[in-house]
Amino acid sequence: MRIATFNLQNMRLRRRNDRSVLDGAADGDVPAAERSEARDIADRKRTAEVIRDAAADVVALQEVFDLAALEFFHDRFLQPAGSPPYPHRYCFPGNDGRGLNVAALCRCRPVRATSHASKSGRDLGLTDLPADLRDQPLFRRDCLQLDFDTVTLFICHFKAPYPDAARAHIVREAEARGVRKLVEARFARPEEERWIVMGDFNEPARGDGPTSSALVPLKGGFAVDLMDRLSPGSDWTYETPETHLLSRPDRILLSPRLAREFPDVRPQILRSGMKRAPDHPDHPHASDHALVHADFPGL
């Protein structure tokens, strides 16, 4: 099984001039008035080409507005780009006020697909959290759980490190604790089972926020970060626009059992189509993130 994770940078389906059109890969970096339908289409063609080239069996996605946007992208962009179909597609409503949800493309049907967007900290046994995280939905988007016969995937998109970096760090650490609780609820002995936590964890670059990692609850032997198997300097997947600092928010975390079973697996990073300064703003791009994938033969 090959798995991948990819932040699609604001993929939303809109009605324009009485037709359906996907937004291109842009944030506030490009004013809406300066974008054209042709440019947005070119962006999403690049997105489709990157996913096609990854050739993954399961693609964990972030920043998909809804299932309609995912279906449109799959049928109008991904398959015409030459990708084999992904018959099973998932995107549940999450908690992001802008509608940027997690999603998944799957070649084989999972046994079950479960959204945890409604779970509060209290639901997960995290009663020591601040009141808003304890008594309201914990995950800023969702934690999408896909149970396959041989492995369980947990797809995440944690709180971005702004506008208040210190506060965002608290939220991300709480989300990490919540994901750990979900894994522990699924498996009596997590260290002896096959599971993967993957997605955009929004860990900022060093020097661009709190120095400690918000992912500590998922480390320390609980999970193994595949990105740690890459040499320093080759593991980045995102460039902060203002500071140009390189970071690796996009990660694949393995259970200890999977890490033992696949000691030589290294993640591959596809930066083709990725927007980076000083790219010309008129060039189509797939996303501001790179796609990360890894192979698990026989899984």
Q: State in Å, rounded, how far the first CA of the chain is from the last one.
A: 5
Instruction: Please state, in angstroms and rounded to a whole number, the distance separating the CA atoms of residues 40 and 61.
Output: 19
Cα Rg of the chain (Å, integer): 18
More confident residue, 293 or 282: 293
Structural tokens at position 84: 């084999």
Write out pLDDT tens, residues 276-286.
Answer: 755 655 678 99
CATH of the domain at 65: 3.60.10.10
For residue 215, name the pLDDT band (cuts at 50, 70, 90).
Answer: very high
Cβ atoms of 217 and 172 closer than 8 Å: no
Output the pLDDT for position 100.
93
Q: Which domain holds residue 222?
A: 2-295
Write out pLDDT tens, residues 176-202.
Answer: 999 999 999 999 999 999 999 999 999
62 CB-contact burial (10 Å; exposed 0-12 / middle 13-18 / buried 19+) = buried
Instruction: Say which DSSP state 226 is in.
Output: G
Output the pLDDT for position 241.
82
Cβ atoms of 76 and 99 closer than 8 Å: no
Percent of residues, the chain, with pLDDT higher than 90? 84
Average pLDDT over residues 164-176: 96
For residue 30, name the pLDDT band (cuts at 50, 70, 90).
Answer: low
Write out pLDDT tens, residues 6-23.
Answer: 999 999 999 888 899 999
Count structural domains, the chain: 1
For residue 252, name the pLDDT band (cuts at 50, 70, 90).
Answer: very high
Average pLDDT of the chain, as a whole number: 94
Residue with tokens 């990105």: 227
Instruction: Please state, in angstroms and rounded to a whole number, the distance separating the CA atoms of residues 20 and 36.
Output: 14
Output the pLDDT for position 15.
87
Average pLDDT over residues 163-167: 93
Output the pLDDT for position 56.
98
